[in-house]
Structure 1
Amino acid sequence: MVDRIVTGAHYGLRDWLVQRVTAVLMVAYTLFIVGYVLLHSRFESNACIGLDYNTWTGLFSNLVMRSFSLLFLFAVFYHAWIGVRDIVMDYVKSARARLVIYVLVIMALLLYSIWAVQILWGM
């Protein structure tokens, strides 16, 4: 019997699992928002008016909703980072080009995260 020695970074399984967990979180949040919109929309003469400003502000004034919204956005950003990183690793052969792409994507995701906190908490 041959003993196999497993080598490598071993981050593939962790990344695969994180992709699945963040995807489930994003689906749950999306279903909640769609359900909320459908349950709270106004319908007049066979047309959906949608939600008014007070309904939206009422939903997002709750600390729990803002926290889950921020968690959802961080999940989207992390999910995007793993996906972009894997695609760049597979298809961009130049190490310098990969580094530039990684830095640009990380900077964009950090700026989006700061922006999300400012929007949700009005800082």
Structure 2
Amino acid sequence: MAYVDEDGSSDTGEDLNMLDGHKRHPVNVVPSGSSGRKRSRKATGDAIVNAMLEIASTSKMRASAILKNEDRFSISKCIKVLDELQGVDERVYFHALDLFENNSSAREIFVSLKSDKRLPWLQGKCGVVPFR
């Protein structure tokens, strides 16, 4: 047990009597390696671990969504949709393949268009005037 003088200085000892004219009072001293501090560090560590797990989970979900989106507008998907179109001449067909190879935005536009708008859009990209 430690003792504190009325003037604020501390001393250790067992005697509560007056020493040097100062009355001494018992003081609770918390050791430097207290369990409160350890609990605080553990709680902080747990919070950091939980935050990192949340970031990892969010990152995995985002990556999955990106891959799903890429699959939806993949070159093979565009070719499948292109093959289903009626009236596509060979020149437009091969130009579309080149367009899809180098331009993910064009793939997304093509697949997202209504089916009756796809051929005129491709023909416009190829510089071909559609027949009416």
Instruction: Flag whether TM exceeds 0.5 (same fold).
Output: no
Query: TM-score, normalization: structure 1?
Result: 0.31
Greater Cα radius of gyration, structure 1 or 2: 2
Query: TM-score, normalization: structure 2?
Result: 0.30
